[in-house]
Every structure is written in structure tokens, then in C-alpha cells.
Chain A
Amino acid sequence: MSTAVTSGDDALFEFLCRMGDSTLVLGHRVSEWCGHAPVLEEDIALANTALDLIGQTQLWLGLAGEVEGKGRDADKLAFLRDGWDFRSALLTEVPNGDFGRTLMRQFLFDAWHSIYLGRLLKSSDKRVADIAEKASKEVSYHLERSADTVVALGDGTEESHARMADALAYLWPYVGELFAGDAVDAAMVEAGVAPDPASLREEYDALVGRILEEATLALPEGRFAHKGGRDGRMHTEHLGHILTQMQWLQRAYPGCTW
């Protein structure tokens, strides 16, 4: 169980790590497609998305390091923390699966991300609002693109439809965590920094439901949610593998630059 942080800069640091770790881990996941996507155009588009997410990570974790005030910058936070210190949502950690599952995960995340960033534009902390402003332009494009692909594949061939239905069934239990608030969220709401995650659920279900309907897929009814990523209590078994690949160079050659 992670230590309880409920006020001041500790909570802000946690919040910033949650933002930055989710974009970092998802950015890394999406970058795994580089050179492997089914067509060149999708390959480049996925690499662009991954780079956008890594760029946002630099901003979130950069600010996190500043707030923490212990001399850690974005690189140190990204490459020298262990798995139990990560605050990535579980949805971002799950393996890519096939192209359809990758795009379904992207869509489920983008939909949450765009709504959440929209609220952060009004954050009482100007630094947070500024990052949200830059990120939200990138994310509206991500959402447009992933939603289009979900519709095209869901309402595509019999096989693509079946794969998208499987992807949705697999990923849905990871969605709920995005809306489960805790003491950190409460402190952020109190300080006017960030919204209560639960308050986004209705808008999210409406948006996701609309796209899924167009994709001839049904919004799942289940509300069971795997949890433990955002608070670091219990990550998926996949996070450790991601970190080994992502961090090995800085671990093997500390301080290495190129």
C-alpha cells in the first residue's frame, strides 16, 4: 500500500506522475508498432501518436520533478524509478495484441484523455492548464483518428468486427480505473487543480457509446474494474517487462547521453 498523500505538493506530485506515467507507458506501447504496422501510413501515424505522448510525458514529469524539488528531472523520473513507483493506469500497460486491439485501447484512452484534459484547461494551477492546452490539441487529433479506425474496423468485415468485439471485451475491465478517485484526487479537487475522475464518467460513456454504436459494437454493461495502477498498489505483470526494455540503457550505462 502506498503511503497516504492527501495534501500540498505531495499530492500534486502524485497527480503529475499519474498523468506523465500513463502517457509514458502508452507512448512506449504505441512505439512498439514502429516498423511493424500493417501499412506504411498507419505506421507513421502511430509513431506520431507515440511521439506526442512522450512529448507530453516530458512536460508532466518535468513539472513533477520541479514540484518534488529533489533534483529529479523528467528523464530521471522516467528511467530510474522502479515499477512500484509508477502511477500509470493499467489500461496503458496491457500488451498491444493485434492492430485492432491497439486501436481500441487507443480510442478508450483518447476518449478519457480528451475529456480529462478539457477539464484541466480550467485548472487553478497555471502550469497544469498550460500543459493541458498544448496536449489537448494533439489529443483531439488522436481521438479523431482512433475513433475513425474503431468505426472502420468495427463496421468492417466479419473478421475485423469479431476482433474489435474481442478487443473491447478484453479492455473494458481496465476502463473503470480511470474514473475511480482516491485521496490524491480529492486533494486535487479541493485545490481546484483537477476534476473528480468520477464526474467524467457520464460524458465518457456518451462519447464512447456513440462511436461504438457507429462501429456496430455494443457498450459493455459490466462495471468490474481492475485497479492498482494509478495508485501504484498493484500494476499489471506487463509493466515490469516494459520498464526492463525502456530503462535498460540508463541502468546499464548510468548518465549515458547521445
Chain B
Amino acid sequence: MKNEWPLWEVFIRGQHGMSHRHVGSLHAPDAEMAIKNARDVYTRRNEGVSIWVVEAKHIAASSPSDKGPLYEPSASKVYRHPTFFDIPEEVGAM
């Protein structure tokens, strides 16, 4: 029998209109307790208006060893950055 509670990843939305951000992880026996634990561990200083928890095993992640084929090709594609346009001054900050 496994005695460790599963690991949950915690996402908190700081204000209305912002997106949830990953803030850390914790252990809990189920989703409901994970939200309560997240409330106690991560919102003590008034950080949040909404909490998401996801059991860590349900998160699929890219493999660090694939980082060459995944990310390097985009390094040489300067034309993908919209930096070749003259922006009229009246437009202001973009």
C-alpha cells in the first residue's frame, strides 16, 4: 500500500482578468483537499481570487532532451518577429 498522498500542481489567479499562474505544488488525498491545502499554503497573504489544482501525473510535459529539434529552429527565423515595420509616432506604445 502506498502511503504518500498524490502530488498536485497549483495554479492561482491573482486578480480578475488575469490568467491562472503556476505557483507550486503540494500533496493532498483528493482534489477537494488539494484546493483547501492550496488555500492554506498559497493564499495566506491575499494572493488569489481563484484556485485550480491538477494532479501532477495528468500534466504532459515536453522532454528536455528534445530541446534542440523543438526550439532551436525558431531561433533563426527573425522574420517571425514583427520588427520590420515603421510604426508612425501617433500610434504610441504598442
Residues of chain A whose beta carbon lies under 8 Å from any beta carbon of chain B: 39-41, 44-45, 48, 141, 144-145, 148, 152
Residue of B nearest to A41 (CB): B37
Asked if B54 is an interface residue, CB under 8 A from chain A, the answer is: no
Which of B5, B27, B40 has the largest count of A CB atoms less than 10 A from its CB? B40
Chain B residues near A144: list those with CB within 8 A: 36
Which residues of B have CB within 8 Å of A45?
36-37, 40-41
Q: Which of the residues B26, B27, B32 comes within 8 Å of A148, measured between beta carbons?
A: B32
Q: Is there an interface contact between B5 and A44, defined as CB atoms closer than 8 Å?
A: no
- Chain A residues with Cβ below 8 Å from B40 are 41, 44-45, 48
Do A148 and B36 have beta carbons less than 8 Å apart? yes
- In the assembled complex, the Cα of A39 lies from the Cα of B37 at a distance in Å of 11
Interface residues on B, range: 10 to 19
Cα–Cα, bound, A178→B31 (Å): 34
Interfacial chain B residues near A141, Cβ < 8 Å: 39
B31 vs chain A, min Cβ distance (A)? 12
Q: Are B26 and A41 within 8 A (Cβ)?
A: yes
B23 to chain A minimum Cβ distance, whole angstroms, is 14
The verdict on A41 contacting B27 (CB below 8 Å), with A48-B40, A48-B44 known, is: yes
Q: Can you show 23 pairs from A to B with CB atoms below 8 A apart?
A: A39-B5, A40-B26, A40-B27, A40-B41, A41-B27, A41-B37, A41-B40, A41-B41, A44-B40, A44-B41, A45-B36, A45-B37, A45-B40, A45-B41, A48-B40, A48-B44, A141-B39, A144-B36, A145-B36, A148-B32, A148-B33, A148-B36, A152-B33
